[in-house]
Structure 1
């Protein structure tokens, strides 16, 4: 089968199309013929430096496709089922390929209303937003939620999930992306290039920060007592908790995990019309390097999707 591989760390140019053996599903696994996958910041991080594992791994965690075969013990799917999900994360999955194996419980049936291209854009970013907002921050109706990089992959999904939970949503983004955020339901938008969000926003209950660095300490200034910053940037942000505690506030670093129930909740939001993925760019699998270049530019609104079959 065709798959994207790399032999060394580096820029997008290290990505290449390779012919590799088709994987075989093991116990409680399924083999999925991939129709589409998508590019996430973690893919770029792993390509450049190996991420936290600091070794070369086959890239890609998002998948939408059709079950080709089932391994021993699988009861949830049969060949021909259309599925989507986030296999194995944070372990390597290798979804930049024509076929990928996945634990059966890391997938759910693809909502009928979604194309494979749309479905592939959702799993990792939606699971990240869901776990940050619902499982870590426990967002409740009426709370004020500040989402940084709100027009990005995680951000634009987090806006919709927070609204579905009944929150008042504030997003930071450049001015050109404000109208897009309003169409997703954002109640307030801030041009971070023109004003200091830490001066413009107060009494926030929850901050979702996918940027890191100075954004963490500055975000603490926007919180009311008891509020929380959920950091998605890197484990280095964990030290933010030490700064937050004396202020009567909280900070928590979070890494997304594959989870069946969360994925079911995401599918339900899609089916109820409360969640959609915005696909900015669609490219064929062989253009993975170009997709990484676009991702690194920071100009993408929503997601970049790679189509496979």
Structure 2
């Protein structure tokens, strides 16, 4: 049985290698045949912090497939069920294996209307969007949401979820093509208006993000801001990859009274003046780490409920993810190298 693994030697290297499947099926596990597996960058720093980084790390955790066999105490599934889920951080198997063993609490049923590629390619971004907009910031009708880099896989799902909840969505784009894509994005259900009330093109460096957002909100500020990283200090770096990163002071300036900033910047540092501004506004800062659901069993029920809701919304068209064309297994090594270097804009899915 083949699987994709990351070898941690002097540098990061991805290889397809043989892996053995245990003969015995544990009582709470299911044996499933993998039909599709999405690729996401490995967070090596997180694995190191949790002391689970090994010389050989399985790659590919967002999976969709068919249940072949169930353990004696499995209650959620039965053979021939279509399922989708995310393997835990300390998984021993690569999601790019033909057959794997998974604990039943990491899977949910896949709706019949959703294909394998869509299911595997949406589950993680959907989980991140739910974590940001519900668990951390409590989006609701009438609120204003700003999504940085709205045309990214996570950005698109977040915009669609926020719009579905009745929020007014602002988004930034890194190119003219991204701006046009977001402006043409329409919901499949409800009123056929653009899901983004305004798309701000940051590619030419001529647009002031703070001025644009305050103008759109009548000077009141944005209720919820989701970033993909921030600049901790002013630099002269004008690269395209940095243009989606506003300075932390700009984000704090944009926040409305009682606003909520959800950040992906794990090394965020706030100076005393920034803290005082947040204090005056009664605003909060939350850190987006979708792995928290796998790090504690206390929220297992909520975690499974979120994944079920993601699949339900995908089946009725609320979510329309931005996925690249499915790629075969023999291209997994090269594709994962590109994903790890973040050279891919769309979500890549391996079809087995």
TM-score interval w.r.t. the shorter chain?
A: 0.7 to 0.9
Structure 1 residue 51 displacement after superposition: 5.5
TM-score of the superposed pair, with normalisation by structure 2: 0.78
CA deviation string 1:136-181 (max 9, x = no partner): 1000111110111211121111111111111111111222112222
Question: Could you say which residue in structure 2 is the equivalent of 1:177?
Answer: 178
Query: Which residue of structure 2 aligns with residue 246 of structure 1?
Result: 279
Question: Does the 8 A contact of 1:16 with 1:286 survive in 2?
Answer: no
Q: Following the alignment from structure 2 to structure 1, what is the Cα–Cα distance between the partners of residues 60 and 179? A: 30
Q: Is 1:160 the equivalent of 2:160?
A: yes
Range with bigger deviation, 188-197 or 59-68 = 188-197
Asked if residue 285 in structure 1 is aligned to residue 329 in structure 2, the reply is: yes
* CA distance in structure 2 between the partners assigned to 1:96 and 1:307 by the alignment: 9
What is the CA–CA distance in structure 2 between the aligned matches of 1:94 and 1:52, rounded to whole Å? 21
Structure 1 residue 286 displacement after superposition: 2.9
Of the two, which has the highest radius of gyration?
A: 2
Structure 1 residue 297 displacement after superposition: 6.2
Aligned length: 302
Going from structure 1 to structure 2, the CA distance change for 1:297 and 1:187 (only over 3 Å counts) comes to farther
Q: Secondary structure at the match of 1:207?
A: strand
Which residue of the partner structure matches residue 189 of structure 1? 199
Asked if structure 2 preserves the Cα contact closer than 8 Å seen for 1:107 and 1:260, the reply is yes
Structure 2 unaligned residues grouped into runs of 5+: 187-194, 215-220, 233-245, 295-302
More deviation, 276-285/119-128: 276-285
Q: CA RMSD in A?
A: 2.6
SS at structure 2 position matched to 1:237: coil
> Are residue 206 (structure 1) and residue 224 (structure 2) matched?
yes
TM-score with structure 1 length normalisation? Answer: 0.88
> Which piece of structure 1 moves more, 263-272 or 287-296?
287-296
1:76-225 residue pairs with structure 2 within 5 A? 76-88=76-88, 90-92=89-91, 94-174=94-174, 175-182=176-183, 183-184=185-186, 185-194=195-204, 195-202=207-214, 203-214=221-232, 215=246, 216-225=248-257
CA distance in 2, matches of 1:296, 1:232: 17
Choose 124-133 or 263-272, whichever is displaced more.
263-272
